[in-house]
Amino acid sequence: MKSIPCLRLLFFLSLAVSAFAGDRQVKIGFAQTGAESAWRTANTNSMKGEAAKRGFDLKFADGQGKQENQIRAIRSFVAQRVDVIVLAPIVETGWDPVLREARRAGIPVILTDRTIQTADESLYACFIGSDFYEEGRMAADWLARKVNGQGAIVELQGTPGSAPANERRRAFADAIAKHPGLKIIDSQSGDFRRAGGKEVMEAFLKKHGRAIRIVYAHNDDMALGAAQAIEEAGLKPGTDIILVSIDAIREAVQAVVDGRLNCTVECNPLFGPKVYDIIGPLIRKEPVPKKSYNKDELFDATNAAAVIAQREY
């Protein structure tokens, strides 16, 4: 019994040590994309909450959906001489110059959530996030089984040029190519936003009417916006039109339970702990795994009700 307070003290001491580089508090600069979706809010909360728990000094910059804001934030982190920069890149391309500036300053960069395209993979230390191609493939395979490989699909794309929009689109197209009866009849960006999903779906319904059998949305917020547009058009989402999307935010899993959404593929945003676990090794210049993917599941009418109470985001 006596050893328990001792263990507790050791635990808090170890936390305190991990929060300091030398005798300074560890400074982390985090360039977030913005606040476009419920997924993003959960991700920001995980990053902020876990930094506070571990005693890190987190400098948070909201990119408000613009790459130029994120680039400016990285430059300011370099000027403030943070220990590590964490970047959730809004789009895939155009990062090399600013990442070179960080490297010149000797500051390691962790990419979280989204990947980048670069000819020089040494410009970032590591990536932590989900496998977007795998998510798109899971959504397509589930759909093909659900509708027996038949149906006209409209696609709601995420932010143009972003890794999740690019990969989820590519994977889905690759997978449905095996089913000649499944065709994408229209595809537009709703920018990962609920209002965007609703607006684009209204336009699709005006243009294609009852020809639409299936909605594939690159995230839940857009799918929930589309479901609202479908209801306002006098149709039943989940029945008249099948909806499949990605993220598995609690509201979407609940919509699956309620039959308004048919399937959501998980994309877990709660990776604050995983990111901060590698801060110590990076500062000590120890090797870290280059790419680490979260494991994601799929929720449909068969399992949504059983998990809804435990959904953390």
- Distance from C-alpha of 149 to C-alpha of 138, rounded to nearest angstrom: 14
Binding residue for ligand GYE, selected from 30, 39, 271, 313, defined by CB under 6 A: 39
Report in angstroms how near the CB of residue 163 gets to ligand GYE at its nearest: 7
Q: Which stretch binds ligand GYE (CB under 6 A): 1-9, 34-42, 280-288, 305-313?
A: 34-42
Q: Which stretch binds ligand GYE (CB under 6 A): 21-29, 33-41, 181-189, 301-309?
A: 33-41
Segments in 149-219 forming alpha helices (H): 163-176, 194-208
Binding mask 246-265 for ligand GYE (x = CB under 6 A): xx------------------
Binding residue for ligand GYE, selected from 30, 56, 77, 192, defined by CB under 6 A: 192
In the bound state with ligand GYE, the residue whose beta carbon lies nearer, of 200 and 246, is 246
- Distance from C-alpha of 178 to C-alpha of 182, rounded to nearest angstrom: 9
**What residues between 221 and 250 interact with ligand GYE by CB under 6 A?**
221, 246-247
CB distance 313 to 250 below 8 Å: yes
Segments in 116-249 forming alpha helices (H): 132-146, 163-176, 194-208, 220-232
Verify binding: residue 169, ligand GYE, rule CB under 6 A.
Answer: no
Report in angstroms how near the CB of residue 137 gets to ligand GYE at its nearest: 15
Q: Which stretch binds ligand GYE (CB under 6 A): 32-40, 70-78, 231-239, 280-288?
A: 32-40
Short-list 246, 237, 275, 221, CA closest to 34:
221
Report in angstroms how near the CB of residue 165 gets to ligand GYE at its nearest: 8
Q: 29: Cβ–Cβ under 8 A, 6 or more apart, which residues?
A: 59, 61, 73, 74, 76, 77, 80, 82, 84, 85, 86
Report in angstroms how near the CB of residue 232 gets to ligand GYE at its nearest: 23
| Residue with the two structure tokens 């006596």 | 2
Verify binding: residue 69, ligand GYE, rule CB under 6 A.
Answer: no
Q: Give exposure, 196-230, as e/b (b: 16+ Cβ within 10 Å).
A: bbbbbbbebbeeeeeebbbbbbbbbbbbbbbbbbb
Verify binding: residue 113, ligand GYE, rule CB under 6 A.
Answer: yes
Verify binding: residue 189, ligand GYE, rule CB under 6 A.
Answer: no
CA 187 vs CA 138, 158, 173, 184, 190: distances in Å = 19, 11, 11, 7, 10
CA 122 remoteness from chain centre: 23
In the bound state with ligand GYE, the residue whose beta carbon lies nearer, of 26 and 165, is 165
Verify binding: residue 36, ligand GYE, rule CB under 6 A.
Answer: yes
Report in angstroms how near the CB of residue 114 gets to ligand GYE at its nearest: 5
Verify binding: residue 266, ligand GYE, rule CB under 6 A.
Answer: no
CB distance 49 to 272 below 8 Å: yes
- Distance from C-alpha of 214 to C-alpha of 193, rounded to nearest angstrom: 19
Site residues for ligand GYE per CB under 6 A:
36-37, 39-40, 113-114, 164, 192, 219, 221, 246-247, 267
